[in-house]
Amino acid sequence: MERRSFIKKAAVGASAGAVVTPALAQSLPTINWRLASSFPKTLDTIYGAADTFVKRVSQLTGGKFNIRVFAGGEIVPGLQVLDAVQAGTVECGHSASYYYFGKDPTFAFDCAVPFGLTSRQHTAWYEQGGGRELTREFFKGYGVINFLGGNSGTQMGGWFRKEIKSVADLKGTKMRIGGFAGKVLERLGLVPQQLAGGDIYPALEKGTIDAAEWVGPYDDEKFGFYKVAPYYYYPGWWEAGASFSFYVGLKEWEKLPKEYQAAIEVASYEAHVVMQAEYDARNPTALASLQKKGVKLRAFPKDILEASYKAATDVMNEEAAKNAKFAKIYEPWKQFRKEQNLWASVAESSMQNFLISTVRGGK
């Protein structure tokens, strides 16, 4: 498919509301699909990516291809979206692939791994660094084709009831965190806990857990975690750029006219870009609001970051040694990360650090 050519044409036609011409639309079938989201409507930025996606698909096909979005739990539980698409319960889904870490840790490369790629770097890897080809080959084994579906940017490191000053303070800390991050932090003595989003606040309030990670200022403020866990740490090194994905069942994908396939490609990419823009626009205001409410913003101490990096590297190397699918993506991904960080350190990072210090200095 000449995807990039279609995107250019779509950009011209989007303002008119449709890319498929009326004459062509008459010859194309009317199709109705269901999309299962992993997310509640209260996470409006993440859940909203699916709304953006389905609206654009309809517009790009002259109203002939319509997809209805169902929030997590309405058709299947949020953590079973991949299974629902694979089984054909729904034609498509919107999820975070690291939710399926338990099936195979390789899924995490489609979303985020510890000390991984930033939002822009992940998009570059997917678009230009072989990520699309590698992840789609992996997803093919599950009867699914994956598309970029949004990114949160670098997330926060979570809410803590007490201050964390060293690695020693992590020992015995019960934290709501899972997947790769939980496996890594377990090696530092932390006790990972699996909790649904709605159960986090009461668990923190009662002291059942000592800490919890969620997303970032915009989403976290709405949950009120600051009322029961005043220390807000950064960065969330396990999610340098958490990328979300749209899933389409391969059998359903292959039935679609090429015009509808192209519409999915274009609409998913637009939803991907819009989500990141929304988070970048909303998080600064939310963070300022949280600080006014007395939140104690803290950076993870260097020894915690260094110990976490070492443990993360060990965990990933061990997984690569026993999991051929993981290793096939990990090795080229690791080289891409190295090259990206070298480039980022030259121009953008130095410029950004200068601006940050200047703005904070009130100049």
Is 26 part of any known ligand binding site? Answer: no
> 347: Cβ–Cβ under 8 A, 6 or more apart, which residues?
none
Q: What is the pLDDT of residue 6?
A: 42
Please check whether residue 200 is in contact with residue 225, taking contact to mean a CB–CB distance below 8 angstroms.
yes
Cβ-count burial of 348 within 10 angstroms (0-12 exposed, 13-18 middle, 19+ buried)? exposed
Q: What is the pLDDT of residue 195?
A: 86
Determine the Cα–Cα distance for residues 184 and 188; give it in Å rounded to an integer.
7
Residue pointed to by tokens 């396939």: 261
Which residue intervals of the chain are DSSP H helices? 3-13, 22-27, 44-60, 81-87, 119-128, 131-140, 179-186, 197-206, 217-223, 250-255, 258-292, 302-322, 324-346, 348-360
Rg of the chain on CA atoms, in Å = 21
Please check whether residue 148 is in contact with residue 220, taking contact to mean a CB–CB distance below 8 angstroms.
no
Please check whether residue 300 is in contact with residue 234, taking contact to mean a CB–CB distance below 8 angstroms.
yes
Using DSSP, state whether 67 is helix, strand or coil: strand
Q: What is the pLDDT of residue 121?
A: 98
Instruction: Please give the backbone phi and psi of residue 232, each rounded to the nearest 5 degrees, phi first.
Output: -115, 110
Instruction: Please give the backbone phi and psi of residue 291, each rounded to the nearest 5 degrees, phi first.
Output: -65, -35
> 131: Cβ–Cβ under 8 A, 6 or more apart, which residues?
109, 122, 125, 333
Q: Is the dihedral of CA 11, 109, 116, 44 positive or negative?
A: positive
Is 155 part of any known ligand binding site? Answer: yes
Residues (pLDDT < 70) of the chain are 1-25, 361-363
**Strand order across the beta sheet in which 174-176 lies:** 191-193, 174-176, 211-212, 158-160, 231-234, 296-299
Domains and CATH numbers, the chain: 31-154+241-281 (3.40.190.170)
Q: What is the pLDDT of residue 5?
A: 47
Please check whether residue 122 is in contact with residue 116, taking contact to mean a CB–CB distance below 8 angstroms.
yes
Peptide bond just before 235 cis, omega within 30 deg:
yes
Q: What is the pLDDT of residue 27?
A: 85
Is 340 part of any known ligand binding site? Answer: no
What the block records as the tokens of 292 is 């006014």
Q: What is the pLDDT of residue 21?
A: 59
Is 91 part of any known ligand binding site? Answer: no
What are the angstrom distances between the C-alpha of 50 and each of 196, 270, 272, 337? 21, 11, 10, 29
Is 176 part of any known ligand binding site? Answer: yes
